[in-house]
Amino acid sequence: TIAVLDFGSQYTQVIARRIRECQVYSKIYHFETPAQVLRDDGVAGIILSGGPSSVFASNAPMPDRAIFDLGVPVLGICYGVQLMGKLLGGKVAKSQRREYGLGSLGIRKKSPLFAGLPRKLNVWNSHGDKLTALPPGFAAVARTENSEFAAILDARRRFHGIQFHPEVYHTEHGMDIIRNFVFGVCGMSENWTTADFIKHTVADIRAQVGKGRVLLALSGGVDSSVAAALLHKAIGRQLVCVYVDTGLMRKDETANIEKLYAKHFKIDLRVVDASSIFLRRLKGVTDPEQKRKIIGNTFIEIFEKKARELKTREHIEFLGQGTIYPDVIESVAIGNNPAALIKSHHNVGGLPERMKFKLVEPLRQLFKDEVRRVGEKLGLPREVVWRQPFPGPGLGIRVIGEITKPRLDVLREADAILLEEMMAAGLYYKIWQSFCVYLPVKSVGVIGDERNYADIIALRLVESIDAMTADWADLPRELLQKVSNRITNEVRGVSRVVLDISSKPPATIEWE
Ligand code: XMP
């Protein structure tokens, strides 16, 4: 194990993830974890993360000093190197200039951390304090314009310190530096794969849950699907999944989910058909924010009612959630206690606290692509693991204006055609999102010799990396033509198909 002591850096999870990328097991520990615990866990190396504090702050987070006596290599990053400086007898000062962003690192002395790397590197910095005098036993390895001691080393004790962040993409050869520490300095070997993650997580879930029962809200999205499959592998029929059909799902979605989970995975799946309640509450509502609110609140209400019922009647004590790391919101909090900063993001809005469930969140440490790999390994089909993002409010925000059953049905048919053609063209998995939008305006068309006053469907096809920005996808004319022909021919009441050619910004991906 490589231990990452967390001093509250926004990058702590990224460090852990980079080590997993080396196929080595890493675990994040609270910064105060006693050295004895690390020893008992068989830790082979320790990374001190960065953090928002200054070592000068009266409440600066401090580790157990005995970690430096464990005889294992230590790598201090940013705040971590200042801690080493301060605790091991060097000097740290407030820097005149904050160092932020890319800087040039000049390597002047051999160090196993930089083995095989060029002598000049662009590295990502983000710090205010800096080391001004080395602790006994240390030597300077590299410098930046602003700092004599941008990288330091005590070769005898195998203590390394770096001011910059090797874990972020902007740092050149950052991954090589991490590999050098993990393999070269700590002597680890590659033995942590997705299969190992599954094996250990299954054991953890069993240990946590015992003979208890777990309730999980299954949405059909990647995260809750993978969480369900993982929980099911661990505890089988002790897992109860609830799927709320809001009536705002895509064509055949509920049936597909039932087929997949009840038949293929043999999961205890309870489908709650709440479509009539949703449609009733959405009647006459046209404002997008209002729609979102109604859909969100109704979902919580229905899930909560079902959960309450199951909790008492079937004695379920745990709530499983597909929370993944990006959902875990970090905010700057009181007292500078990094551990207290992390708040859980609840997909089902505050339910756990109110209902006194204990939480099981097996994906909490993972990033999206890691979740997908776990899903694949568990045998979930490609359509689930690699599906495009689908908004929580579903088709409710893709029927512009008032939501009615006939409009939803038109949209569902059009959307199914687009999906089918995207799959057939081999493009569905290549672009970020491809979907249809129902517009509440009619236009004049002609069928045979008849005037046809009918609906309009817009195609939204976008490329994106993270949904923060997006561009419209330039798909082959033949595909667009086919989709348009099929929609106007096969979907009753649609006579016109238009293509959305707006980027984000200034538009957004969804229309509402
Ligand atoms: P926008 O429309 O803001 O969408 O460019 C960015 C990404 O988020 C998805 N989206 C949502 N996802 N609940 C969700 O879970 C929502 O209310 C929601 N609204 C938008 C959208 O599909 C796109 O991927």
- Per-domain residue ranges of the chain: 2-185, 194-385, 398-499
CB contact at 8 A, 248 and 408: yes
On average, the pLDDT of the chain sits at 92
Angstrom distance (rounded) from CA 356 to CA 311: 10
pLDDT at 346 over 50: no
Angstrom distance (rounded) from CA 446 to CA 239: 54
> What pLDDT, on a 0 to 100 scale, did the predictor assign at position 373?
96
Catalytic pick among 22, 127, 160, 167: 167
Give 161-205 pLDDT, tens digit per residue.
Answer: 999 999 998 899 999 999 999 999 999 999 899 999 999 999 999
ipTM for the complex shown: 0.97
Ligand 1 atom index nearest CA of 292: 17
Angstrom distance (rounded) from CA 43 to CA 338: 22
Is 80 among the annotated ligand-binding positions?
no
Ligand 1 centroid to 391 CA: how many Å?
A: 5
Catalytic pick among 127, 160, 165, 173: 165
Task: Give the residue-averaged pLDDT of 265-286.
Answer: 96
Residue 16 CA, chain-centre distance (Å), reads 14
Ligand 1 atom index nearest CA of 296: 17
> What does each C-alpha distance from 173 to 101, 119, 125, 298, 431 come to in angstroms?
16, 11, 14, 49, 29
CB contact at 8 A, 8 and 341: yes
The letter for the amino acid at 147 is S
pLDDT at 406 over 60: yes
352: confidence class by pLDDT, cuts 50, 70, 90? low
Q: Rounded to 10 degrees, what is the CA torsion of 167, 168, 171, 174? A: 30
CB contact at 8 A, 98 and 127: yes
Terminal-residue alpha carbon distance, the chain: 46
Is 296 among the annotated ligand-binding positions?
no
> What pLDDT, on a 0 to 100 scale, did the predictor assign at position 340?
38
Class of domain 194-385: alpha beta
Active site residue 127: no
The letter for the amino acid at 194 is T
How crowded is residue 312: how many other Cβ atoms within 10 Å of its Cβ?
Answer: 9
Angstrom distance (rounded) from CA 286 to CA 298: 17
Strand blocks (E) in 90-238: 91-107, 120-133, 139-144, 147-154, 159-162, 214-217
Return the structure tokens found at 109: 């002395």
Task: Give the residue-averaged pLDDT of 307-312.
Answer: 92
pLDDT at 336 over 50: no
CB contact at 8 A, 441 and 511: no
Active site residue 167: yes
Q: Is 202 exposed, middle or buried (0-12, 13-18, 19+ CB in 10 A)?
A: middle
Pocket of ligand 1 (CB under 6 A): 292, 389, 391-393, 433, 467, 504, 508-510
Beta bridge partners of residue 147, listed in sequence order: 144
Active site residue 436: no
324: confidence class by pLDDT, cuts 50, 70, 90? confident
Angstrom distance (rounded) from CA 193 to CA 197: 6
Return the structure tokens found at 234: 């661990």
How crowded is residue 459: how many other Cβ atoms within 10 Å of its Cβ?
Answer: 23
Catalytic pick among 22, 78, 241, 436: 78
Ligand 1 centroid to 512 CA: how many Å?
A: 9
Is 49 among the annotated ligand-binding positions?
no
Domains 194-385 and 398-499 share a fold: no
> What pLDDT, on a 0 to 100 scale, did the predictor assign at position 351?
60
Whether the link from the prior residue into 505 is cis, omega within 30° of 0, is yes
Task: Give the residue-averaged pLDDT of 311-326.
Answer: 91
Residue 317 CA, chain-centre distance (Å), reads 26
Alpha-helix residue ranges (DSSP H) falling in 102-221: 174-179, 194-209
10: confidence class by pLDDT, cuts 50, 70, 90? confident
CB contact at 8 A, 163 and 149: yes
Give 432-452 pLDDT, tens digit per residue.
Answer: 999 999 999 999 988 888 898
Ligand 1 centroid to 460 CA: how many Å?
A: 13
Return the CATH number of 2-185, one of 3.20.20.150, 3.40.50.880, 3.30.365.10, 3.30.379.10. 3.40.50.880
Largest CA distance in the chain: 93
pLDDT at 329 over 60: no
Q: Is 208 exposed, middle or buried (0-12, 13-18, 19+ CB in 10 A)?
A: middle
pLDDT at 264 over 80: yes
Task: Give the residue-averaged pLDDT of 321-340.
Answer: 55
Q: Is 337 exposed, middle or buried (0-12, 13-18, 19+ CB in 10 A)?
A: middle
Ligand 1 centroid to 315 CA: how many Å?
A: 35
The residue written with tokens 């240990």 in the block is 207
Q: What residues contact residue 337 under an 8 Å CB cut-off, 6+ apart?
A: 8, 59, 61
Instruction: Among 387, 510, 511, name the best residue to mutate to test ligand 1's pocket (greatest count of ligand atoms within 8 A of Cβ).
Output: 510
Helix (H, G, I), strand (E, B) or coil at 421: helix
More confident residue, 324 or 275: 275
pLDDT at 224 over 90: yes
> What does each C-alpha distance from 77 to 238, 369, 398 come to in angstroms?
43, 25, 46
pLDDT at 332 over 80: no
Ligand 1 atom index nearest CA of 433: 24
Could you tell me what percent of the chain has a pLDDT over 90?
A: 80
Helix (H, G, I), strand (E, B) or coil at 66: helix
Give 369-404 pLDDT, tens digit per residue.
Answer: 999 999 999 999 999 999 999 998 999 999 999 999
How crowded is residue 291: how many other Cβ atoms within 10 Å of its Cβ?
Answer: 22
> What pLDDT, on a 0 to 100 scale, did the predictor assign at position 450?
87
pLDDT at 343 over 50: no
Class of domain 398-499: alpha beta
> What pLDDT, on a 0 to 100 scale, did the predictor assign at position 328?
65
Ligand 1 centroid to 462 CA: how many Å?
A: 13
